Chains A and B, each alone.
Chain A
């Protein structure tokens, strides 16, 4: 019991450290990239020298990245996540207003992608028909080759929900992993033997295949969350969905440091939770087998 508590505490500590490091690293990346101190508004010929100077000084404020980050963390501890430079609104409100949409989009998209991938991958493993393999490869390959922006555009064109676009972006990746892993599992000698003896498919699947591939499939599932988060950016931007992805893109273009740091921290948190959750579940499955 104590060791479990220790593991959890250790895990939480690693998580916190990684998240904070993620925030600092993203702040550094944004700060170092050219264009940080540039402001599009400077180009307005109506502005006089003082106003241009004022614009530049506003950007200079966050120049010392370490100081910025510490003061940010200090404020974050008190629940203040800062104010977006580009949109002039508190980051907390921005994230709170937009998170539900992105969450719905991602969960629906991921669920669809995985239902599709697992169905096709299992069918492929059961059938072992090269024609079927070739067919699924062509279909998944096609979706892999179409630029994400085009998929998003098509979803607008055909009036289908953005989550379907997310699903079709994630699907080819998750399908390839799932298919390869399942194919390998089903080609193990003892499973081939069991199938030829006429053992029930369900029994083989749950007793012999799942315990072997589940940890890896879970790992793929964990990573597919990151893929979906990346896909949310073009999909939200093109489908006019006011979610975090759209916000992230705006923030990147405007070099909106406070917003970017918060979004990175959020994304890091989601990634870590998804992946360590997948790891933990995988360990449980493996533990049961052992």
Chain B
């Protein structure tokens, strides 16, 4: 019974993700106009037949922007999340597994990473790039930086997990039997890190999508006129009341749906792993 409903959920999640990706791939046909086209006579318009999700403050079709924004956010955010998860697994898992001085140093570094004002590093990164940089390069660099800086939380938890595994009975037994360290790490330690890794991956996706938009204030992230989900979500920041323009919530709902789908896929994986 349970596995059936899980299956259904998984199928649904797959379908949603495929649908969203397909829609963004077909943006050229689906969207009524390019993402940069300014309808200067219909700014801030409510949804209509011409503009399904209305237009933004300078008259760009919101539906088109959601579709094109998906391409960037839905491809790059998971990629960056994957990178940060990988780094977390490597740094945290290995440190915990090796233990001793290694663990102490790695954790001190992690704590430092958690507390430093990275804002200034990002400002410096922007200064190192030329002003005339293509929007795509800018957004790639941004997500790369996010991926490189986002591993800390998970690394800390992974280190603890790996450390407790190191002292657990079955690893000790495996050692006693003479299983080589490397194999032991991959076969017995890594699978047990999965709950943490999945959590890190899942959390990172929306966090990176939002961070990308916030980095817009430093001149990083997606440059105008290119859209991203983050920049569409930022529109919500200027709301004085919730009910006023409900269609502005569509990007948020879409992101929640996508994020939930990712979780359904992951939890299924977890089920198998367990």
Contact = CB atoms under 8 A, between A and B. Distances in A.
Interface string B245-271: 000000010011001100110010010
Nearest to B249: A146
A178 to B, nearest CB: 9
A258 interface: no
A144 B203 contact: yes
A142 B210 CA distance: 13
A223 B123 contact: no
Interface stretch (B40-48, B137-145, B192-200): B192-200
A53 to B, nearest CB: 24
Given A275-B111, A282-B160, A26 B116 contact: yes
Interface string B212-247: 011000000000000000000110110111100000
B28 interface: no
A76 interface: no
Interface in B90-111: 104, 107-108, 110-111
A268 B160 contact: no
A212 B161 CA distance: 9
A96 B117 CA distance: 21
Nearest to B205: A144
A150 B252 CA distance: 12
Interface stretch (B1-9, B15-23, B49-57): B1-9
B14 to A, nearest CB: 15
B112 A25 contact: yes
B121 interface: yes
Given A29-B117, A134-B264, A271-B115, A145 B157 contact: no
Contacts of A134: 9, 260, 264
A187 B195 CA distance: 12
- Main secondary structure, interface of A, reads helix
Residue picked from A142, A179, A264, A282, most chain B C-beta under 10 Å: A142
Contact of B127 (A14, A34, A172, A286): A34
Nearest to B230: A147
Interface stretch (A85-93, A202-210, A214-222): A214-222
Contact of A144 (B111, B207, B213, B267): B207
Contact of A183 (B2, B115, B195, B259): B195
A84 interface: no
B206 interface: yes
A21 B164 contact: no
Closest 8 CB pairs of A and B: A180-B195, A33-B120, A219-B160, A268-B115, A29-B120, A187-B274, A33-B123, A176-B199
Given A131-B5, A275-B156, 9 more contacts: A30-B120, A32-B124, A35-B123, A146-B233, A147-B214, A173-B203, A216-B161, A219-B159, A275-B107
18 contacts: A22-B115, A29-B118, A137-B260, A145-B233, A146-B236, A177-B157, A177-B199, A181-B195, A184-B194, A215-B160, A223-B152, A223-B153, A223-B156, A226-B152, A226-B153, A252-B117, A268-B115, A282-B164
